[in-house]
Amino acid sequence: MKDIDELIIRLGKNGFPVENYLEKAFKTIKIEDFIKLGHDDFFQDNPVEFMKTSKGIRKNISAPHMLAILLHHLEIKKGQKILLVGSKGGYLAAILDQVLGEEGIVTIIEPHDEILEHTRRTLENYESRGIIRVLSIIDFDFYEDSGKEFDRVLITGAVREIPDFLNYNSQEGSFILGPFGGNIQQRLLKKEKQLGEWLDTDLGGVVFSPMDTRISERNPLDPIVLAEGLEDSFSLISEIIEIDEETFQGIEQLIQSLRELPRDIPAISENSSDEEIMENPVMDLMMSEMERLAPIWPIIEHFMSIELVDIFNSENENSFTGGGHEDLVP
């Protein structure tokens, strides 16, 4: 118990809201029951991995301070019905279950099959106070309308808009809370429906991995992935530094051109040959704008977690690129 006590004290000192009900839930639910390794990281207020998919995508339980922020803004009351989109390995559902009590209902929608099965197996060993349902998207579609009435909806992964599958009956005073934006950074939004329109309350910038794990599994050099990454990076960079009009127009044109490329062009990766890379339309487009992008490209690389430098052998020492394609690292 010492570790969790110290964590709660640390959260309080750092200005994160830890209400009494949440403190009790944190102390009751043991993180050790939901992860195999990384307990110490969790108690140091870091995210911890609860599983890795067959394609190598790591899925995390959010850091305690972020859980505290989400639960604070969720404004939970005993006996409510909560819809959780994205399971977080079952840990967050158990925390919610403790807070909601015997009359509460937590419904999880987990879009990823492997994570869905992992969560079901994990929660089989948890003795809930109320009801916890773990559903696939298809399961949720077939539920009666009476089973789709929720007081709160919490989305636990990055989405650009409210997911299409999220058709539920909103109650008076209900709202959706989640990270809305691109894959690099999002805004934590509280969405309330009034007179048929969604009204947003912006609660600040956050960074979550995508709700749809297929996004993480995509080839980072796919033209659509590159276009989305450039768009998200450029939006963030433009808030930090001033960008001249020529660079601004060049990036917008590059993004548009990437989106317009045929979907059946050959994929490139770190295993592609020099010839395959040089002849690929994606790389041709990227290189055509590299001179204008040069001043901000290191920042873009950092945000996108991808290196496009050193793709071509070049004898021009003034060229922005140089070396071989061995350093093409997603």
Same-domain pairing of 93 and 228: no
DSSP 248-270: HHHHHHHHHHHHHS-TTSPP--T
Q: Which residue has the tokens 């001249």?
A: 244
C-alpha–C-alpha distance, residues 230 and 287, integer Å: 14
Which residues is 187 bridged to in the sheet? 180, 205
Please write the tens of the pLDDT for every residue from 133-161: 999 999 998 877 666 789 999 999 999 89
| Mean pLDDT across 60-81 | 94
Looking at the fold, whether 176 and 236 belong to one and the same domain comes out as no
Q: Say if residue 153 is in the same domain as residue 281.
A: no
Strand partners, 58: 52
**Burial class for 263, CB neighbours closer than 10 Å (0-12, 13-18, 19+):** exposed
Which residue, among 48, 53, 47, 96, has the nearest Cα to 75 in the 3D structure? 96
Count of CB atoms within 10 A of residue 56's CB? Answer: 8
Cα separation, 242 vs 304, whole angstroms: 20
Judge whether residue 251 has pLDDT over 90: no
Same-domain pairing of 176 and 241: no
Residues in the chain: 330
Confidence (pLDDT) at 164: 84
Residue 310 above 50 pLDDT?
Answer: no
Answer with the one of 214, 249, 269 that is the final residue of a domain.
214
Q: Is the pLDDT of residue 177 over 70?
A: yes
Q: Which domain holds residue 311?
A: 218-327
Q: Does one domain contain both 134 and 98?
A: yes
In Å, what is the CA distance from 160 to each residue of 165, 175, 321? 14, 17, 33
Give the highest mean pLDDT range of 31-40, 97-106, 195-204: 97-106
Q: Is 197 helix (H, G, I), strand (E, B) or coil?
A: strand
pLDDT band at residue 178 using 50, 70 and 90 as cut-offs: very high
* 37 and 89 Cβ atoms separated by less than 8 Å: no
Tokens of 233: 């990076």
Asked whether 52 and 59 are in contact (CB, 8 A), the reply is yes
Confidence grade of residue 218 (pLDDT, cut at 50, 70, 90):
low
Q: Is 63 in the same domain as 170? A: yes
Cβ proximity of 70 and 219 under 8 Å: no
Q: Is residue 175 domain-shared with residue 225, that is, in the same domain?
A: no
- Pair 202, 239 in one domain: no
Which candidate, 63, 70, 130, places its Cα nearest to that of 94?
Answer: 130
Among residues 170, 196, 214, the one where a domain terminates is 214
**Are residues 34 and 90 in contact, defined by beta-carbon separation less than 8 angstroms?**
yes
Q: Tell me: do 286 and 188 sit in the same domain.
A: no
In terms of domains, do 208 and 241 share one? no
Name the pLDDT band for 90 (thresholds 50, 70, 90): very high
**The total number of structural domains that make up the chain:** 2
Domain end call among 182, 214, 246: 214
Judge if 30 and 50 occupy the same domain.
yes
Q: How far apart are CA 151 and CA 172, in angstroms?
A: 8
Contact 278, 159 (CB under 8 A): no
CATH number for the domain spanning 81: value is 3.40.50.150
Q: What is the average pLDDT score of the chain? A: 83
Same domain, 234 and 255: yes
